[in-house]
Amino acid sequence: EVKNLERLFEDRIARDEKIEPKDWMPEKYRQTHIRQISQHAHSEIVGMLPEGNWITRAPSLRRKVALLAKVQDEAGHGLYLYSACETLGVSRDELYDQLHTGKAKYSSIFNYPTITWADIGAIGWLVDGAAIINQVPLCSTSYGPYARAMIRVCKEESFHQRQGFEIMMNLAKGSKEQKAMAQDALNRWWWPSLMMLGPTDAESVHTEQSMKWKLKRKTNDELRQQFIDQTVPQAELIGLTIPDSDLKWNEERGSYDFGAIDWDEFWQVVKGHGPCNQERMSARVNAWENGEWVRDAAMAYAEKQEDKKLK
Ligand code: ACO
């Protein structure tokens, strides 16, 4: 009977039908979605930290309002994705526990420090730019709740990308020092942004199966190439230089060739040895522990209301 169910499921995937929470699905499909969606949710929440670092120091009221809104959006994305993940039968407490005990992965990119204001520009432009390229195809992913979450998330990411690019554009046409600050941020964020899109297709353990299930609609290497091809002309437009001496337009392929990515650095960061892994983890664990009294109070209040209804 399971074989039959599996065949019907495969047929639905082939017809591009959305799979919904109460539908039958293979256990591995469920598990792999819990893995990817929860990693994605954790990334949104941890991703608030590097930028949150600059909210109090944004250079103008307008910049502060935009940054505050953006960081709040990331919180919304995280909660949205945790809810999508819960529809697969895992509890939010379990997911938090996996993050706080270091069992869960989150995006490598958020383990790098934001040392100047230009880093906020670079994150919006490059990191959110890469996130859009990764997430637009996910709007047509096969699992309904994930696909629907991605539609809204992508709209907001597009605002994030523009606010970042605008910061970089203004710094690049500012004083000599400002332009140097923008270039320095690009130098530091370029390679980690390419790594963020995941290991090469040859090294990616999940791509093949995830493409079959239409969880992933494009491979890591395809997304990386698309990101590079889109971003290089933007850097040229604002007079900044991509820190890759091997970068060269390839007429035949209609794409840029690019230099070697330092995959050792990527795996070090993924394994917890990046510049800010410990800082990010302790910030999340402290936030959870310091919020305990709020959760307890909310539960006590809810119970009191429930008691009142019963009386
Ligand atoms: N940071 C940390 N871990 C990573 C990263 C990364 N940038 N890229 C890949 N990995 C991990 C994978 O999670 C996997 O580990 P696991 O088996 O323990 O789960 C391992 O490296 C091998 O990678 P893949 O086989 O390529 O994994 P996958 O098919 O899941 O592809 C990808 C990785 C492209 C990140 C995919 O999961 C995805 O599209 N996720 C949704 C988007 C997302 O999470 N974005 C987060 C940053 S965007 C933002 O928050 C603004």
51-87, pLDDT tens digit by residue? 999 999 999 999 999 999 999 999 999 999 999 999 9
Pocket of ligand 1 (CB under 6 A): 35-36, 39-40, 43-44, 47, 105, 107-108, 131, 134, 196-199, 204-207, 210, 216, 220, 270
For 274, other C-beta atoms within 10 Å of its C-beta total: 21
Q: CA of 93: how far to CAs of 101, 141, 262, 298, in Å?
A: 12, 26, 35, 16
Angle at 206 between CA 250 and CA 269, to 5 degrees: 75
Whether the pTM exceeds 0.90: the reply is: yes
- ipTM, interface predicted TM-score of the complex: 0.97
Mean pLDDT in residue range 95-107: 97
Contacts of 117 (CB under 8 A, 6+ apart): 54, 57, 58, 59, 167, 171, 181
CA gap 270, 111 in Å, rounded: 9
> How is the chain split among helix, strand and coil, in percent rounded to 5?
70, 5, 25
200-258, pLDDT tens digit by residue? 999 999 999 999 999 999 999 999 999 999 999 999 999 999 999 999 999 999 999 99
Query: Distance, CA 308 to ligand 1 centroid (Å)?
Result: 47
Decide: 92 and 82 in contact? Cβ < 8 Å.
Answer: yes
Residue 210 CA: nearest ligand 1 atom is 29
Residue 205 CA: nearest ligand 1 atom is 25
Angle at 290 between CA 285 and CA 291, to 5 degrees: 100
Encoded tokens for 216 = 């992933």
Nearest to 125, CA basis, from 232, 259, 42, 53: 232
Encoded tokens for 31 = 């598990």
